Structure 1
């Protein structure tokens, strides 16, 4: 590792004293960076789908373009974790933002000057996915550097993520209807520029020296060993491979189909807004909660999210659909905050980026596999039975989470 003037992966910046304000200048800047980046990511599916369809490449073209981004993210995530530990997370995150700024600007120019080829779109989105893989591992290790209260910080970030998830597609939909995909891609690119500027403005504690004594591949293997050595960590990921695939991964697309078919697209929009509002409420709840055993408490979130598939399967009145999805959003956000905080406080700083990369890779594989299997599984027995099965599996996985002693008994650090 080269000399660095910012906090490297081997040291954390000094923590704020207990009870100090969360809203330091560093945290405000980091929140600004994450909010801008999350808003841009939420705009991508709308802009890309409309642009590819307008160019005449059909639904298959949309799948190829989004799949290229996802494939690059999955393939490169582990390498991104090692690079963040070698060269500092902020450096890799800024580099990733610059690459995504250039890539999405190229998309804007391509759509502004005519219909780009499908191959061009796929290549550009693959590059964007590679850059995102360089960015994402640092998300975990940056929080302890910019916030004294890690859990409250994660709660605020989860609220920002939920808000971006609701506002991003809505804003993109309005803009793409009014002025076309080129404008959305230009704004999308700009969000990464804002993120890079905010990250560069952070004032992180200096370190005297940071020297890398291991090869890239040795560090990658070390990350796996540290991941495998923590039974609570790999235990959660192993259970989540089932939960993420057959509960979250399956229920999101199939649930949307059921709602559109039974109630119409307007109700789907209302339901998704309720889900986002639940994310805000869940993040606020997690900011205040201080459970002694965070993963055992977080299991409540898994159980609440199981309402997501069962609600549309029962075809209830719209009000109950909205309530069910709101509670599901609360659960997902509550679990997300407690899980992120646990990982960030239990893993040593010099290993956090690599270990977190294994965590994200496992979760990503499960979600992608679930979305891929959703259609074929629904064709076997129907959409409603599949959603009931997803709910049952969600509750079973929640029980497994609580049944593993290493997970249930893990105590919080701060």
Structure 2
């Protein structure tokens, strides 16, 4: 046993059943399913359920009150734009202060905004600009909340990959249940009930986070200015070739494949096979993501991003099965494989970030990678309609499948991505 460095008090003994994470300066549980991880797991699952209910309620509610596709798109864009624009600042704030308190605060604000939205839809006084303002506030809150998710997982679980796999599996199950539950509520009652239920999910999430007991944060150097912290986060992000290299590829994937696929798959499947089939294929996607999350809990590759990129080849089946005009059974099978591929990559990616990045800058780096990942999504969605008008929806979907294959190959072609080696503890120093 080594002595503590000069000038530092000796570390207290770790509790029974705990592991001292030397690199992070924290004591984390050796087993996964502890009380605190269970609370965080529950918070994430409940929040995901509400988040997956919201698009159905928003679309149905606006259409019922005279809105069209443009109104729905504008309301959704108000959330996405504010999230993408503010998440980097959320990362800085989460690193400067306690991320858990920031997450609880974001949930509390969203309880109020969703309750207000419920009142608007219950009373029938639905004004688009008011809905957009609520969406914008929710987007800012999500930007404050999201960075803390990445830094909380390694503080709760020594086995970060298993923790990410479990959370991804739960979120995938909620992705299946949420839209179905929202559809039932809208059909039996009104969109206002879904907004009220969504507010309730934020309340439960906030309560779970409030009950959470986290280990002491790693010691961080004295904080500089907000701008200096923002710049430091950018330097740390830019110094990791494996990270920014993957994000560049991901931006192309989002803009040219995933983004256009979301609206075009919906319109093509509903037109050709009906609303029920569209619900079925979405459930298949969620089921596949659950399978991918479970596989990621068991498979421990030496090079996680290499394994994730290989798995990601399976995503091309999502746009291609629809673009090629295949039958329902083939589309469902393709969506299961695509969902599993996406979930497996997501766990490998999240685990790499959480174990390769020092805890003192993790929130900021995670914020930069999230911003880079989502910024091209609305661009791809916006271009889907014009592109389909010029070339045809089927051709755009087939092209999206080709882009997804090229993106997976590009990830494997980047040495820093391909050769990143698995580690089990976060480093103290920066890794290029």
TM over 0.5: yes
Matched, 1:169 2:199: no
Which residue of structure 2 lines up, in the alignment, with residue 304 of structure 1? Answer: 314
Matched, 1:26 2:36: yes
Give SS of 2:361's match: helix
User: Of 192, 196, 199, which residue of structure 1 is paired with 2:202?
Assistant: 192
Q: Is the 8 A contact 1:294 1:411 kept in 2?
A: yes
TM-score normalized by the length of structure 2: 0.90
Which residue of structure 1 lines up, in the alignment, with residue 159 of structure 2? Answer: 149
Matched, 1:331 2:344: no
Q: Is the 8 A contact 1:12 1:145 kept in 2?
A: no
Counterpart-to-counterpart distance in 2, 1:208 and 1:38: 29
User: Of 140, 150, 159, which residue of structure 2 is paired with 1:130?
Assistant: 140
Matched, 1:66 2:76: yes
CA distance 1:153–1:247, shift in 2 (3 Å): same
TM-score normalized by the length of structure 1: 0.94
Displacement of 1:63 in angstroms is 1.6
Which residue of structure 1 lines up, in the alignment, with residue 58 of structure 2? Answer: 48
Which residue of structure 2 lines up, in the alignment, with residue 95 of structure 1? Answer: 105
CA distance 1:270–1:12, shift in 2 (3 Å): farther
Give SS of 1:14's match: strand
User: Of 27, 33, 43, which residue of structure 2 is paired with 1:14?
Assistant: 27
Which residue of structure 1 lines up, in the alignment, with residue 286 of structure 2? Answer: 276
Q: Deviation digits for residues 351-379 of structure 1, max 9, x if unmatched?
A: 01000001100111121211111111111
Counterpart-to-counterpart distance in 2, 1:139 and 1:248: 23
Q: Is the 8 A contact 1:16 1:148 kept in 2?
A: yes
Q: Deviation digits for residues 194-252 of structure 1, max 9, x if unmatched?
A: 00100011111235976743011110011000000000000000111111111111112
Q: Is the 8 A contact 2:289 2:343 kept in 1?
A: yes
Displacement of 1:104 in angstroms is 0.5
CA distance 1:207–1:380, shift in 2 (3 Å): closer
Q: Is the 8 A contact 2:77 2:378 kept in 1?
A: no
Q: Deviation digits for residues 1-24 of structure 1, max 9, x if unmatched?
A: xxxxxxxxx95631333xxx3110
Counterpart-to-counterpart distance in 2, 1:297 and 1:36: 30
User: Of 201, 204, 212, which residue of structure 2 is paired with 1:202?
Assistant: 212
Q: Is the 8 A contact 1:256 1:268 kept in 2?
A: yes
Give SS of 1:349's match: coil
Q: Is the 8 A contact 1:283 1:333 kept in 2?
A: yes
Which residue of structure 2 lines up, in the alignment, with residue 342 of structure 1? Answer: 352
Give SS of 1:412's match: coil
Q: Deviation digits for residues 167-207 of structure 1, max 9, x if unmatched?
A: 11110111011111111111100100100100011111235
CA distance 1:403–1:211, shift in 2 (3 Å): closer
Give 5+ residue unaligned stretches, structure 1: 1-9
Q: Is the 8 A contact 1:13 1:204 kept in 2?
A: no
Give SS of 1:141's match: helix
User: Of 349, 354, 362, which residue of structure 2 is paired with 1:352?
Assistant: 362
Counterpart-to-counterpart distance in 1, 2:378 and 2:40: 28
Displacement of 1:255 in angstroms is 1.7
Counterpart-to-counterpart distance in 2, 1:124 and 1:397: 35
Displacement of 1:283 in angstroms is 0.4
